[in-house]
Structure 1
Amino acid sequence: MMGESEFMEQSNEKKRKIQLIVKILLAAAALGASAFLLKGDVWTFWTWWLLAAVMGFAAMPVTGRLFWRFEDKGWIFSKVLAVAAAGFITWFLVSIKLVPFTGITCAAVTVICAVLCFLLLKKESKEKIECFPVEKISLVYWEELIFFLAFLLWTYVAGFHPAAYGTEKFMDYGFMEAMMRSTVLPARDLWYSEGHINYYYGGQYFAVFLTKLSHTKVELTYNLMRTFVAGLAFAMPFSLVYQMTVDRMKGQPKGEKIKKRLPFIAGFTAGTAVSIAGNMHYVIYAQIIPWIQKLTGQEVSSYWFPDATRYIGYNPYREEDRTIHEFPCYSFVLGDLHAHVVNIIFVLLVIALLYVWLRGVRKKTVSAEVSMKDGSFWKKQLLMPHLLVISVLLGMFQWTNFWDFVIYYVVTLGTVLFANIIRFQGKIKKILAVTLAQMAEIYLIGYLVILPFTLQFDTMIDGVGIAKYHSYFYQLMVLWGLPAVLTITFVVSMLWEKLRKMEHKSLYRLMKAMRTADLFAIIMGLCAMGLVMIPELVYVRDIYENGNARANTMFKLTYQAYILFGLTMGYGIYRLLVVTRQKIFKVIAGICLFFLVWTVGYFGKSVNSWFGNVLDPSGYKGLYALGYLETDFPEDVSAITWLKENIEGAPVVLEANGDSYTGFERVSASTGLPTILGWYVHEWLWRNDTEDLNVKSTDIRNIYTSESEEQVRTLLKQYDVSYIFVGSKEREKYEDALNNALLQSLGDIVFIDEDSGTYIVKVD
């Protein structure tokens, strides 16, 4: 007879085989779906997915050490850490003129980083340090599948509207093309040929770095980079909140099924909240109000998805105070590849590093007997690997998105302060001394590593102003009331749980009594609330003073507040539902979950509005970002293609200049070739010299319209113009004043379209 233990072993083995078969089938289905949905683009998609996987695997010896308390050893975060390290080192070496910015350089630096990680792996093997999640390979599988599917979802829908045209896309795409042409950094400004790019170009740089590394084309990777970020913006919150929930559930008198499933549910909710969900504006203005109107026989209001980001100052309209309050889902749908979008993945990496650092360091309470005069004491405080890595990443933010440097420096301060209160048992002098020293260290390292950028960058900030206008309270509640209510409920529940059990109440004892996951959720939630409130008090001054003074400040601060709120809700809702005993807190958490799920409808609404019927695969256009040239600029497409295929380097190509967000600058944006002057408001923001811009605008007009050959040749020589482009926008702007005869006499006509009349002159 078969023994019970032997029977159970065979049963478990059979179960494992079935699970393995299911996983293989799911992976095959995912790969098959990607091939079917993406058609010819699937090769580029697979290339980037595999590249990220290989880079992440190579970086695991480092990531595994940093995230050794995570069950997955930081698998998903390893991809981003690898991209950040290899990309940043490449940029640094190029910026200080040690190496050229080429595909070979990108590959060489990446390989060297991988070799160093391999050497570290050999050392870890000797020390018997486990940096790969061998025991949790199933978790890694599910995380990788989640990332692949999220990446695929966003890539597929992007293929219904791939044009790098409209909003900020000309700038973002043009930056990429300019850097692809350049072997030095910063690259020449495509819209200000006499200078280099004077903006936070780090986000577009990383897109170019991966493009050169993977030997792919900007025409495809412009869209692929934004969907790559969107996929990670789902998978990274999943991993972080999964781990936070696992940590909190340890020791809980709950069933094994709950402990096993709850982290997945919480992590999935966090990924949804950050990457896909909208805000309550959608629920109220796209769902509830139209429903009431329909019931009462009124005309039902239509809903345009950007309204959720242009609400304060627009509904009702306030001429003196129009603001912006975007969030990731809107950015991913719209398709801009701006600084704040690409930096999402690096922001999430910093947040995860702060959590794993807090989790480890709070357990190492420092004895009151240890003197601050002891050199070993300060060595331990200032040589913490996590804080050193965070320092470099925060420094990098000054180049990828400066606003995030300020925001997450403060978030880091809050985390460090809370940790030190626990570590030094409430001793105020040590808490303040160590916190100030660590924050000074972080600032100094961040300042030093980014010097190649800041030494060549002219700030656009013109001080800080006091907010003259303020948002209506009900509007703040519409946009951020849901996560704020959850955060406040969570904080109150923590105080209720801990304070009533404490005989001697103090901030130190309160924090010590909290689990790390609970404490970190509170930090994120409170920081998010602070970011929402700051624009109600002050704003950073720039060129947008008339009617839009608070817009940029509110935009950048509340964007990060949304991410922090999403993580807080993903964790906090289930923490209240499952662990907290008070029914009122459970009810509030349940209501918050209901409305959070409802806001996901924003994704469907915005996708349908922007991309059309994505349920019909036949509507998929592909990832090619320049397809709009055929439809919107048919007279110029052949000439632009000629420039892309025949011009090396970055000679100046003159085209008519125009206002921001218009079709002007389609040549420089599509090719990366610099022109004398591009989008006016953008260069005004980057240079803050309108007199110079006005002179250049006049000079461009004179080149195209002047009757004096001597004047035209003088101006061409002054601006080192190599080619003159005459196409649809030039004819539109200068009309009959356009002096074609003179322009064509200035050199060789290297291209002409006999049908449209568009031509290119190579200046003698």
Structure 2
Amino acid sequence: MAGEFVVPVLLWLAVIKLLHLGTWPALDRTLGNLSAAAAYPASILLFTLGSWYCGLSGLPVWLALLPFLAAIVYAGSRRFYTRERLQSALSWDLAFLIPFLFMLEVRWINPTISYAEKFMDHAILASIMRLPTIPPLDPWYAGGTLDVYYYIGYWMSGVLGLVSGVPSTVTFNLVLPTVLGLAVVSLYALGHLLLDRYRWLPVLALFIPNPSAIYHILIGDAWFDVLWGSTRTIANTINEYPIFSMLWGDVHPHVMSFFNQGFLLFLLVFACMRWGTLPLRGRALVCGLAALALGSMPGFNSWDVLVYAPVTLVFGLLIWWRYGNLTRDREKSWMMLAAVPPLAIVTYLPFYLQLNSPGIGGIGIVPTPSEPVEFLLVHGFFLAVLIAFCAPDIRKRPYLLLAAVPFVLAGYPAAAIAAVPLVYLLARRRFAATDTLAILGLLIILATELVYLKDNMGETYFRMNTVFKFYLPAWILMGTASLAVIGGWLERADIGRRMPARAGRLLPVLAVALLLAAPFAINVDFGYGSHTLDGAAYLEGSHPGDAAAIAFLRDLPGDHIIVEAEGGDYTYYSRVSSFTGIPAVIGMPFHEYMWRGDEGRISERSADVRRIYEQPSRTIELSRAYNATLLYVGAEERDRYTVSIPTEALELIYDAEGVQIYLCGVEGAEREGSLRKGG
């Protein structure tokens, strides 16, 4: 890796380790040998929460580091960090670092902020890092804030970048390595609860492709088509799976939430399996951590809470039933059910009160469900494992197969497939952790065959977001359950004990070597520029004028609003606001329409931007109407509009390589003050 990026990476990792060390001692008495693992995701969530409240209070976000530093000093004074204890945590450090390095290699090969949702992802990240206030400024809607969107994942990423001193264009490429590392630690810890051996198996849920990807490989598709085709298997929907989302590289809410999903599942399963051995303080701590994870979900990705709030309630009921027989028992088994939901709401209550999203327009019945073959190409591997898991029950009670018949008769054959293992797992009434995870995952994929949440995606793609956003949690739930089932089979087969000791030691080393070599063995370079961690570096070759002007604007102090060309979504337009975080009058209009609806008057803003560039008599008037201070004229503006601006009435503050930047919207003393602020 290029030497200039070693220091930013080390600073980033140093901050994460500092947070980890500050959190670990508080978890040790309750979580024992799993405390060092839980401290990784818990510390990130705690720092995100603390820094968010700093931003809400108008305080510097770095103050959120102080409690962690104080905790380290206190624990150090009590000799917590002994050599033996630090060595015991080494496996968890490696569980974080190895996938971090794997994903860092992927981002180094394919780092650019240039396609799919990457302009949006970086725009929000840059906006937060430029001015970390609550709610953050919307970079594509001047005068607006991001209270219309779930931005907590971007806040987490941005404040980590701020306190580590890493610029946003590099921070962008450190986020997914961090998310993957945290997710691996969470699922590896979950594996320690579900399995006595082969505890790494649940981690594979993050790395295995769906059967559709295997199909595309077998028919000889190119690598890009394998990735893309396997996530567009069910007609008019998106069916991503974790490793695709990671390789695709969008720093998007549905991806950033992976680690939090894994962490919450670990906590719920831990509580379910060990509640009876925990003192009251330990139970309260587990409930508090679960509330922290659940409470942040609407801010990370609001769709997740629609899954994990019910999941939490199910586990809460299961704990109460198992340990307290649904009574007010001495073990306070009802605590998870009664305490976690309200605590989750209180944790981020100001976020919920500020939220101004149009939300969901209701629930609809799916008129055109998935074709069975498509359904199996997405979920077939997990379904096969779970049906095999239920095979003894199927032989004993074949009549339960009739439960699938109503779904077939109603025209929902894919739902019928999911109903088979679901019915048998429910009929067992055992509700072990693995069974419960499988049941919950199956319920999700069955439900999404029957109903969908109404949004503004239109008639053709009416089901796209429902499938997209619900299939990922279903993948994690069914994936961890199925892989735990396989682990149980391997344990009973006693395969590991028959393996020579030397081979047992070499296999993990070989697996790590293969993982770290994989990014170079497969083609993860999509042709947008590579071999850097700076996501904006490609601009110097493809758009040198913009590259220099954006560098100027990134260093420009003061609060600004910029006028730049608007040219639709998923295009190079809106690039200045995206790379600088300076709000534009309007950018990526369909995104803004999804967030703000008709009340946002998006088309009116787009028309006003055209008038600013094409009607010189209205340039200053309209700029002032939006409080714009900067007017950007580059190649995209000249291509999009017939540029005719009153240059004599504007102050030219930048002119190089075909790009001019004017000061606009202010006059007299205001102009002089802005110029002094802007250099």
TM-score range, shorter chain: 0.7 to 0.9
Aligned counterparts of 2:480 and 2:333: Cα–Cα separation in 1:
25
Task: Provide the residue aligned with 1:360 in structure 2.
Answer: 274
Distance 1:420-1:134 versus aligned 2 partners, 3 A rule: farther
Distance 1:509-1:491 versus aligned 2 partners, 3 A rule: closer
What is the deviation of 1:353?
A: 0.9
Task: Provide the residue aligned with 1:52 in structure 2.
Answer: 16
Q: Do residues 700 (structure 1) and 609 (structure 2) align?
A: yes
What is the deviation of 1:451?
A: 2.1
Out of 466, 477, 480, the residue aligned to residue 553 of structure 1 is 466
Structure 2 counterpart of 1:725, one-letter code: Y
Task: Provide the residue aligned with 2:232 in structure 1.
Answer: 310
Task: Provide the residue aligned with 2:67 in structure 1.
Answer: 112
Structure 2 counterpart of 1:115, one-letter code: A
Deviations 1:522-567 (A, max 9, x none): 1111111122122211111111132111111111111111122332
Task: Provide the residue aligned with 1:253 in structure 2.
Answer: none
CA contact (8 A) 1:150 1:234 kept: yes
CA contact (8 A) 2:137 2:144 kept: yes
Structure 2 counterpart of 1:423, one-letter code: Y
Distance 1:493-1:119 versus aligned 2 partners, 3 A rule: farther
Aligned counterparts of 1:495 and 1:359: Cα–Cα separation in 2:
27
Paired residues for 1:398-413 under 5 Å: 398-413=298-313
Helix, strand or coil: the match of 1:688? Answer: helix
Aligned counterparts of 1:323 and 1:482: Cα–Cα separation in 2:
20
Task: Provide the residue aligned with 2:177 in structure 1.
Answer: 227
Aligned counterparts of 2:92 and 2:336: Cα–Cα separation in 1:
34
CA contact (8 A) 2:324 2:334 kept: no
What is the deviation of 1:620?
A: 5.8
CA contact (8 A) 2:385 2:482 kept: yes
Paired residues for 1:323-342 under 5 Å: 323-342=237-256
- In the alignment of these two chains, the number of paired residues is 614
What is the deviation of 1:622?
A: 1.3
Paired residues for 1:178-193 under 5 Å: 178-193=127-142
What is the deviation of 1:480?
A: 0.5
Q: Do residues 350 (structure 1) and 257 (structure 2) align?
A: no
Task: Provide the residue aligned with 1:454 in structure 2.
Answer: 352
Structure 2 counterpart of 1:750, one-letter code: I
Q: Do residues 762 (structure 1) and 660 (structure 2) align?
A: no
Helix, strand or coil: the match of 2:629? Answer: strand
Distance 1:221-1:381 versus aligned 2 partners, 3 A rule: closer
Task: Provide the residue aligned with 1:445 in structure 2.
Answer: 343
Name the TM-score, length of structure 1 as normaliser: 0.74
Aligned counterparts of 1:528 and 1:509: Cα–Cα separation in 2:
16
What is the deviation of 1:137?
A: 5.9
Task: Provide the residue aligned with 2:626 in structure 1.
Answer: 719
Distance 1:137-1:214 versus aligned 2 partners, 3 A rule: closer
Structure 2 counterpart of 1:325, one-letter code: N
Distance 1:493-1:422 versus aligned 2 partners, 3 A rule: farther
Structure 2 counterpart of 1:483, one-letter code: F
Greater CA drift, 666-675 or 625-634: 625-634
Task: Provide the residue aligned with 1:270 in structure 2.
Answer: 202
Task: Provide the residue aligned with 2:217 in structure 1.
Answer: 286
Structure 1 counterpart of 2:655, one-letter code: I
Paired residues for 1:97-496 under 5 Å: 97=57, 99-100=58-59, 102=60, 105-106=61-62, 108-116=63-71, 119=74, 140-197=89-146, 198-246=148-196, 263=197, 266-274=198-206, 276-287=207-218, 289-290=219-220, 303-313=225-235, 322-361=236-275, 384-425=284-325, 438-439=336-337, 441-459=339-357, 460-491=359-390
RMSD: 3.3
Aligned counterparts of 1:656 and 1:211: Cα–Cα separation in 2:
29
Structure 2 counterpart of 1:464, one-letter code: I
What is the deviation of 1:273?
A: 2.7
Deviations 1:287-308 (A, max 9, x none): 2x449xxxxxxxx999431111
Deviations 1:414-460 (A, max 9, x none): 212222222234x6x779xx998854543322222222112221123
Helix, strand or coil: the match of 1:542? Answer: coil
Structure 2 counterpart of 1:664, one-letter code: Y
Distance 1:303-1:169 versus aligned 2 partners, 3 A rule: closer
CA contact (8 A) 1:286 1:302 kept: no
Deviations 1:578-621 (A, max 9, x none): 2279xxxxxxxxxxxxxxx9xx99x96998343279xxxxx961
Aligned counterparts of 1:122 and 1:406: Cα–Cα separation in 2:
43
Greater CA drift, 401-410 or 302-311: 302-311
5+ long unaligned stretches in structure 2: 397-424, 495-510, 668-679
Helix, strand or coil: the match of 1:155? Answer: helix
CA contact (8 A) 2:22 2:72 kept: yes
Structure 1 counterpart of 2:307, one-letter code: I
What is the deviation of 1:132?
A: 7.5
Task: Provide the residue aligned with 1:12 in structure 2.
Answer: none
What is the deviation of 1:77?
A: 2.2
CA contact (8 A) 2:295 2:348 kept: yes
Q: Do residues 653 (structure 1) and 562 (structure 2) align?
A: yes
Aligned counterparts of 2:534 and 2:149: Cα–Cα separation in 1:
26
Aligned counterparts of 2:135 and 2:224: Cα–Cα separation in 1:
45
What is the deviation of 1:633?
A: 2.3
Aligned counterparts of 1:468 and 1:272: Cα–Cα separation in 2:
34
Aligned counterparts of 2:81 and 2:384: Cα–Cα separation in 1:
39
Aligned counterparts of 1:148 and 1:605: Cα–Cα separation in 2:
16
CA contact (8 A) 2:123 2:578 kept: yes
Distance 1:301-1:608 versus aligned 2 partners, 3 A rule: closer
Distance 1:746-1:496 versus aligned 2 partners, 3 A rule: farther
Task: Provide the residue aligned with 1:19 in structure 2.
Answer: none
Aligned counterparts of 1:508 and 1:670: Cα–Cα separation in 2:
51
Aligned counterparts of 2:364 and 2:574: Cα–Cα separation in 1:
34
Aligned counterparts of 2:392 and 2:90: Cα–Cα separation in 1:
35
Distance 1:490-1:545 versus aligned 2 partners, 3 A rule: same
Name the TM-score, length of structure 2 as normaliser: 0.83
Task: Provide the residue aligned with 1:747 in structure 2.
Answer: 650
Aligned counterparts of 1:716 and 1:612: Cα–Cα separation in 2:
38
Structure of higher CA gyration radius: 1
What is the deviation of 1:638?
A: 1.7
Helix, strand or coil: the match of 1:304? Answer: helix
Greater CA drift, 634-643 or 79-88: 634-643
CA contact (8 A) 2:104 2:174 kept: yes
Paired residues for 1:68-87 under 5 Å: 68=32, 72-87=33-48
Helix, strand or coil: the match of 2:544? Answer: coil
CA contact (8 A) 2:96 2:184 kept: yes
Aligned counterparts of 1:53 and 1:382: Cα–Cα separation in 2:
24
CA contact (8 A) 2:319 2:333 kept: no
Task: Provide the residue aligned with 1:258 in structure 2.
Answer: none
Structure 2 counterpart of 1:280, one-letter code: P
5+ long unaligned stretches in structure 1: 1-36, 126-130, 247-262, 292-299, 314-321, 365-378, 498-506, 582-596, 614-618
CA contact (8 A) 1:59 1:114 kept: no
Helix, strand or coil: the match of 2:15? Answer: helix
